[in-house]
Amino acid sequence: MPKIVLYGIDISPPVRACLLTLKALEVPFEYIEVNLFAGEHRNEEFLKKNPQHTVPLLDDNGTYIWDSHAICCYLVDKYGKTDELYPKDLVKRAHINQRLFFDASVFFMSLRNISVPNFYKKVDKVPQEKIDNVRDGYVHLENFLGDNLYLTGNNFNISDFCCAATASSLPAVLEMDPHKFPKIKAWLGRLEKLPYYKEANKDGAEKYIKMLKNVLTVV
Ligand code: GSF
């Protein structure tokens, strides 16, 4: 078995999406914590591996991959005993990709656009438009769920992991009203039952929420 190393920090939603995937696949890996607040992601050694200086970063025996969505796809394709978490079927995969790209470009970005200015520049005033983007993301996710148990049907896959890592962290900036978004609440409840969910996602999400909540003022 090649050596797999995941570089990350528990509070990061995309890192937690990769942790969920690694745990679901039961792939052994080493986890190396990168202290973003101490700038460890911008040191020479890390930049050689990921010039975009983001976590998560996967090192699979010398092959470096970053962006959580790319990492999760790669891990299932390479190490999945089945393709259940990222089916090879063209249509199923296209639907999963749509949810992954939604998370990468819309859903997680609505959070990152608020959190990053706070983490690195101590910006604590958040324009209402940025909060509106978060609410729009919740609305889309609620619609995607429709009558399904999970995001693309009745089985979970990596798009559930990526979107759940974001959704469970978003209350840091906007409470997820369970009356407006009952399907998201029920879906997260189903994922919470996974034996590895607490360690891989819930604990980090709670830490993240604690860090940001009550620090921000909407203007
Ligand atoms: C986003 C990673 C990211 O923004 C992914 O992997 O899915 N689309 C990428 N990571 C943040 C940490 S966090 O906010 O979760 C990060 O590494 N920020 C440091 C930086 O310099 O951008």
CA dihedral 144, 150, 151, 153 (to 10 degrees): -90
- Contact (Cβ atoms closer than 8 angstroms) between residue 76 and residue 24: no
Q: What tens digit of pLDDT does each residue of 67-97 get? A: 999 999 999 999 999 999 999 999 999 999 9
pTM: 0.97
Per-residue model confidence (pLDDT) at position 2: 64
Strand arrangement, sheet containing 30-33 = 30-33, 4-8, 57-60, 63-66
CA of 54 to the centre of ligand 1 (A): 5
In 3-state terms, what secondary structure has residue 170?
helix
Burial of 193 (0-12, 13-18, 19+ CB in 10 A): exposed
- The pLDDT assigned to 55 comes to 98
Tens-digit pLDDT profile for residues 122-148: 999 999 999 999 999 999 999 999 999
pLDDT in the model for residue 1: 57
Ligand 1, atom 19, lies closest to the CA of 54
Instruction: Give the distance (Å) from ligand 1 centre to CA of residue 13.
Output: 9
Question: Which residue has its alpha carbon closest to ligand 1 atom 16?
Answer: 54
Domain with CATH 1.20.1050.10 in the chain: 90-218
- Class of CATH domain 90-218: mainly alpha
CATH of domain 4-79: 3.40.30.10
| Residues 131, 138 contacting (CB under 8 angstroms) | no
The predicted model gives 31-45 an average pLDDT of 96
Residues 185-202 pLDDT 10s: 999 999 999 999 999 999
Residues of the chain with CATH 3.40.30.10: 4-79
**What amino acid positions are annotated as catalytic residues?**
12
The finding on whether 75 has its CB within 6 A of some atom of ligand 1 is no
- Of 57, 71, 106, 112, the one to substitute when testing ligand 1's pocket (max ligand atoms within 8 A of C-beta) is 112
Index of the ligand 1 atom closest to the CA of residue 36:
19
116 and 12 in contact (C-beta within 8 Å)? no
What phi and psi values does residue 136 have, to the nearest 5 degrees?
Answer: -60, -40
